[in-house]
């Protein structure tokens, strides 16, 4: 079992609310990622981080923001939620591929299902 945790698992909120999805990992991984997944569709990378104080936008344009103040913590924030933000958000982490013998294995959290009314 991977030691990566997401909260909340499910969230239903009204339009305009600010929300933060939490993600923590206890594996000491440098790299962390946020993916968005809609039913029947592929995962889309929305944010990633190489380490503390490093964050980058992914392939899919997103109105969310992230921060990486601590290695183990990578929260995602939506300042003003809209119905178009309704989706499944998956957090993941991996070791640096420069680590000997490591293939950059990706470990996922259980996901946060967000519904914006």
Partner 1 sequence: KNQVEQSPQSLIILEGKNCTLQCNYTVSPFSNLRWYKQDTGRGPVSLTIMTFSENTKSNGRYTATLDADTKQSSLHITASQLSDSASYICVVSDRGSTLGRLYFGRGTQLTVWP
Using rule CB under 8 A, residue 54 touches partner 1? no
Q: Looking at beta carbons only, is 41 or 117 nearer to partner 1? A: 41
What's the rounded Cα separation, in Å, for the pair 93 and 52? 13
Sign of the torsion formed by the C-alpha atoms of 60, 61, 62 and 66: positive
Kindly tell me the burial class for residue 11, based on how many C-beta atoms sit within 10 Å of its own C-beta (0-12, 13-18, 19 or more).
middle
CB of 17 to partner 1, least distance (A): 23
Kindly tell me the burial class for residue 103, based on how many C-beta atoms sit within 10 Å of its own C-beta (0-12, 13-18, 19 or more).
exposed
Number of residues that bind partner 1 (CB under 8 A): 26
Please, which of residues 3-32 interact with partner 1 by CB under 8 A?
A: 6, 31
CB of 87 to partner 1, least distance (A): 13
Using rule CB under 8 A, residue 40 touches partner 1? yes
Residues forming the site for partner 1 (CB under 8 A): 2, 6, 31, 40-45, 48, 50, 90, 92, 96-98, 103-111, 113
């Amino acid at each position: 079992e991977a030691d990566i945790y997401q909260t909340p698992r499910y969230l239903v909120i009204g339009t305009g609310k600010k929300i933060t999805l939490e993600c923590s990992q206890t594996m000491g991984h440098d790299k962390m990622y946020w993916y968005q997944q809609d039913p029947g569709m592929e995962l889309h990378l929305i944010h990633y981080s190489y380490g503390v104080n490093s964050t980058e936008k992914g392939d899919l344009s997103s109105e969310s923001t992230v921060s990486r103040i601590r290695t183990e913590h990578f929260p995602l924030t939506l300042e003003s939620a809209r119905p178009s933000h309704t989706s499944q958000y998956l957090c993941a982490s991996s070791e640096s591929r420069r680590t000997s013998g490591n293939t950059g294995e990706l470990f996922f959290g259980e996901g946060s299902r967000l519904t914006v009314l």
